[in-house]
Structure 1
């Protein structure tokens, strides 16, 4: 897991958020999730696929679980901080939107069909949030 730090610039015209060290050359697809407040979406994982998470709006509590050891890590992503969280293959992920209207952008290094055959899930009963 790694967090790719970015920054923001604010002036009279508004705010520009950027993560210039996020190399998007591996990205094949992108999608956004707008979860309902109070809903935990967990645990989806991939053995090969890498995903990158970016809080486009609002804030998110994100957790990862290593598939073999079940070691957990926790992250906070906010639209007031420009960060991209990289989650490599071999991990489950889950998240919860912390504000009404939050939007999470997710980037993937594989197409949808390849992702579907590399999709592994656990329930919240098996791995506590």
Structure 2
């Protein structure tokens, strides 16, 4: 079973300037990219999930908290769940891999934050988007 993981980036600076890089990330599966910029830091974008598609996230400006939940039963997603939480910051090019079968909630933690999202399927290639209300996965 694939588990979410942070693929660590690095940074380097010298007299020429700064360089952020991630030599451990294999981008060969990527078919499209886009960015997310939330209007407010109190806003949480979620829950959105994918049975088939994978996502990779990287903060290119500011910082984000990304919460992930593995869905084992898409007909009854409230059956059992654990919320995993990851923090991405733009000071180095860390990339969070979200395997297929997860839902995500995304929150910017600083004003003007920008999140790069990479996907392994082209737009319209498959119908694989599942949305749940923001409070759907709150624990009682």
**TM-score interval w.r.t. the shorter chain?**
over 0.9
Q: How far apart, CA to CA, are the structure 1 residues paired with 2:15 and 2:105?
A: 37
> Is 1:87 the equivalent of 2:90?
no
Q: Contact conserved, 2:11 with 2:21, CA < 8 A, in 1?
A: yes
Structure number with bigger Rg:
2
Unmatched tracts of structure 2, length 5 or more: 73-79
Structure 1 counterpart of 2:15: 12
The two structures have a TM-score, normalised by structure 2, of 0.86
Say which structure is richer in strand. Answer: 1
Query: Residue 127 of structure 1 corresponds to which residue in structure 2?
Result: 137
Q: TM-score, normalised by structure 1?
A: 0.93
**1:33-74 Cα deviation digits (max 9, x unpaired):** 111122100100000100000000000011001112322100
**Structure 1: 5+ residue runs without aligned partners?**
none
Q: CA RMSD in A?
A: 1.4
> Greater helix share, 1 or 2?
1
Partner of 1:29: 32
**What is the aligned residue count?**
128
Q: Are 1:111 and 2:131 counterparts? A: no
Q: Deviations over 1:82-122 (max 9, x none)?
A: 2100001100011100111100000000011135x111111
Match in the other structure for 1:48: 52
In 1, Cα distance between equivalents of 2:60 and 2:11: 13
